[in-house]
């Protein structure tokens, strides 16, 4: 049987104390509800109905790349009322999987198990046992059969001792769901239409109701405040780190690692503490990443080393490269084999040739550097005139003296030398020495300024 999904995402999330709708708060740089949508997409759902309310424009902007049916819940009158907004789009002959938008760690395997449980019953719900179920709806059973769900505020003292709770996730037939939704009433402590009431309705009709369980309670933990958001983030990251460790990536401290995208790697790669991975990062063999580095959409070749506190973004490193510490490779940076950038060096749209070095305090923008060149400390390429960007070309074996400024567009020839402290605005031919600085004058009797 085909199935559709209803995702409840209309809550404002007042306890988040934010102008951002709750379900847009990120886990690993991705909105929590997007995690759920991505998981559902792996199951092959026919439709995804997103129930939204607060911050509709923000939601539509953030989730516009998804194929969703948007269902507005203008007033938040409970979970049953939320699902009622999707009822006109639900087919009688399909199953409907109902999910909450603030439990981003739910696994596809768990949802598939819930779907399979529905095949053996009329209705299946996801439940979990908690040591402290305070505030959660309790599962009322008659032996093996689920008979009802009682919200905490409506539960008796005896019912509050029950540790099996409702996760808010369930699946049932479309025709049954629509019939039960139309019969919901709001005569409860909250004055709301509870989706959980359909369980009691199903039981009274003699429907078979089975429960399925996640492999871990963290899968179904909802997020209602910043503390819970941080806890779920760490749980997500720890699981990522542990999985990568088992796949052979050496992460020195799994508690201090953040994967906010995808990473692939060869053998004997090592990642130190507080490293953040964003986008798609590819590591070759024997790559070492030092502490406090950020890697974004980049490729790092074999035997390369990224020293501490460096940022590598949309850059490509060939084999045996060395970066940092405190280096920044911006988009378009390319380092060929055994090239090196050292501390406080920044590269943007720049290619550093094989074996070339820029060891200290240098900016290379819109620059092509040949093989075996040496860029002295304090060198900058002046690539921007206030309106246009221009290119600097530095030939093979060139030596650029410390504290030089190369004013683009300019070409420094092969084996050419630029004297330290020069400002070069004209081309330098192969093997030439360029010295562009004023003659030194020593003035005697000069009066140093005094504080007024």
Mean pLDDT (the chain, rounded) = 95
Closest CA to 127 of 38, 173, 196, 192: 196
When pLDDT is cut at 50, 70 and 90, the band that residue 443 belongs to is confident
Predicted local confidence at residue 277, as pLDDT: 98
CA distances from 174 to 6, 54, 84, 91, 109 (A): 11, 27, 12, 6, 23
Contact 86, 71 (CB under 8 A): yes
State pLDDT tens for residues 246-294.
999 999 999 999 999 999 999 999 999 999 999 999 999 999 999 999 9
**Which domains are delineated in the chain?**
3-220 (3.90.550.10), 226-434 (2.160.10.10)
Contact 325, 309 (CB under 8 A): yes
When pLDDT is cut at 50, 70 and 90, the band that residue 135 belongs to is confident
Average pLDDT for 23-39: 97
When pLDDT is cut at 50, 70 and 90, the band that residue 441 belongs to is confident
State pLDDT tens for residues 6-16.
999 998 889 99
**Binding site residues, as ranges?**
8-11, 22, 73, 78-79, 102, 137, 151, 166, 224, 330, 348, 363, 374, 377, 383-384, 402, 420, 437
Predicted local confidence at residue 1, as pLDDT: 66
User: Residue 217: is its pLDDT beyond 80?
Assistant: yes
Contact 176, 90 (CB under 8 A): no
Structure token pair of residue 375: 């860029």
Q: Which residue has the tokens 């759902």?
A: 45
User: Residue 151: is its pLDDT beyond 90?
Assistant: no
CA distances from 279 to 22, 127, 312, 358 (A): 23, 34, 12, 27
Contact 91, 111 (CB under 8 A): no
Closest CA to 9 of 222, 234, 228, 226: 222
SS (H, E, C) the chain: CCEEEEEEECCCCHHHCCCCCHHHCEECCEEHHHHHHHHHHCCCCCEEEEEEECEHHHHHHHCCCCCCEEEECCCCCCHHHHHHCCHHHCCCCCEEEEEECCCCCCCHHHHHHHHHHHCCCCEEEEEEECCCCCCCCEEEEECCEEEEEECHHHCCCCHHHCCEEEEEEEEEEHHHHHHHHHCCCCCCCCCCCCCCHHHHHHHHCCCCEEEECCCCHHHHCCCCCHHHHHHHHHHHHHHHHHHHHHCCCEECCHHHEEEEEEEECCCCCEECCCEEEEEEEEECCCCEECCCCEEECCEECCCCEECCCCEEECCEECCCCEECCCCEECCCCEECCCCEEEEEEEEECCEECCCCEEEEEEEEECEEECCCCEECCCCEEECECCCCECCEEECCCCEECCCCEEECCEEECCCCEECCCCEECCCECCCCEECCCCCCCCCCCCCCCCCC
CA distances from 21 to 7, 10, 245, 259 (A): 14, 8, 35, 24
Inter-axis angle of helices 197-204 and 174-182, to 10 degrees? 110
State pLDDT tens for residues 112-122.
999 999 999 99
Inter-axis angle of helices 32-41 and 108-118, to 10 degrees? 60
Predicted local confidence at residue 148, as pLDDT: 87
Whole-number percent of the chain with pLDDT over 90: 87
User: Residue 449: is its pLDDT beyond 90?
Assistant: no
When pLDDT is cut at 50, 70 and 90, the band that residue 438 belongs to is confident
**Binding site residues for acetyl-CoA, as ranges?**
377, 383-384, 402, 420, 437
Is pLDDT larger for residue 84 or for residue 135?
84
Catalytic residue among 54, 152, 360, 431: 360
Beta bridge partners of 428: 412
Structure token pair of residue 367: 């620059």
State pLDDT tens for residues 330-368.
999 999 999 999 999 999 999 999 999 999 999 999 999
**Binding site residues for Mg(2+), as ranges?**
102, 224
Beta-carbon contacts of residue 188 (< 8 Å; ≥ 6 apart): 151, 153, 154, 194
CA distances from 354 to 305, 306, 364 (A): 16, 17, 16
User: Residue 452: is its pLDDT beyond 80?
Assistant: no
The answer to whether 81 is a known catalytic residue is no
Beta-carbon contacts of residue 168 (< 8 Å; ≥ 6 apart): 8, 79, 98, 99, 100, 103, 195, 222
State pLDDT tens for residues 185-211.
988 878 889 898 999 899 999 999 999
Contact 83, 40 (CB under 8 A): no
Average pLDDT for 239-247: 97
User: Residue 95: is its pLDDT beyond 80?
Assistant: yes
Q: Which residue has the tokens 């990251």?
A: 237
């Amino acid at each position: 049987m085909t199935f559709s999904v209803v995702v409840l995402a209309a809550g404002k999330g007042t306890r988040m104390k934010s102008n951002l709708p709750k379900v847009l708060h990120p886990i690993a740089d991705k909105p929590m509800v997007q995690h759920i949508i991505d998981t559902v997409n792996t199951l092959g759902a026919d439709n995804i109905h997103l129930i939204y309310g607060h911050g509709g424009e923000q939601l539509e902007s953030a989730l516009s790349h998804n194929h969703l049916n948007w269902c507005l819940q203008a007033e938040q009158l409970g979970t049953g009322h939320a699902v009622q907004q999707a009822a006109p789009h639900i087919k009688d002959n399909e199953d409907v999987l109902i999910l909450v938008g603030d439990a981003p760690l739910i696994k596809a395997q768990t949802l598939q198990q819930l779907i399979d449980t529905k095949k053996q019953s009329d209705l299946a719900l996801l439940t979990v046992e908690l040591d402290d179920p305070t505030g959660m709806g309790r599962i009322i059973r008659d032996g093996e059969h689920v008979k009802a769900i009682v919200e905490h505020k409506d539960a008796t003292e005896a019912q509050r001792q029950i540790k099996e709770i409702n996760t808010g996730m369930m699946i049932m037939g479309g025709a049954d769901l629509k019939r039960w939704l139309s019969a919901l009433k709001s005569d409860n402590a909250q004055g709301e239409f509870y989706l959980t009431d359909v369980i009691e309705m199903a039981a009274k009709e003699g429907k078979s109701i089975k429960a399925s369980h996640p492999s871990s309670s963290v899968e179904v933990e909802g997020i209602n405040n910043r503390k819970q958001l941080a806890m779920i983030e760490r749980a997500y990251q720890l699981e990522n780190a542990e999985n990568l460790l088992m796949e052979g990536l050496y992460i020195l401290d799994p508690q201090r690692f953040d994967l906010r995208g995808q990473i692939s790697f060869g053998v004997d790669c090592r990642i130190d503490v507080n490293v953040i991975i964003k986008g798609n990062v590819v590591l070759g063999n024997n790559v070492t990443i030092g502490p406090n580095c950020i890697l974004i959409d980049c490729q790092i070749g074999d035997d390369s080393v990224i020293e501490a506190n460096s940022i590598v973004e949309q850059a490509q490193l060939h084999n045996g490269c060395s970066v940092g510490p405190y280096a920044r490779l911006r988009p378009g940076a390319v380092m060929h084999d055994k090239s090196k950038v050292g501390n406080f060096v920044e590269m943007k749209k720049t290619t550093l040739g094989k074996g070339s070095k820029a060891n200290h305090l240098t900016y290379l923008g819109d620059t092509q550097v040949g093989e075996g060149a040496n860029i002295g400390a304090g060198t900058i390429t002046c690539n921007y005139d206030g309106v246009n960007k221009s290119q600097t070309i530095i030939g093979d074996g060139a030596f650029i003296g410390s504290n030089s400024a190369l004013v683009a567009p300019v070409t420094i020839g092969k084996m050419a030398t630029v004297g330290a402290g020069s400002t070069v605005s004209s081309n330098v031919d192969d093997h030439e020495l360029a010295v562009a600085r004023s003659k030194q004058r020593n003035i005697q009797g000069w009066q140093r300024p005094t504080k007024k």
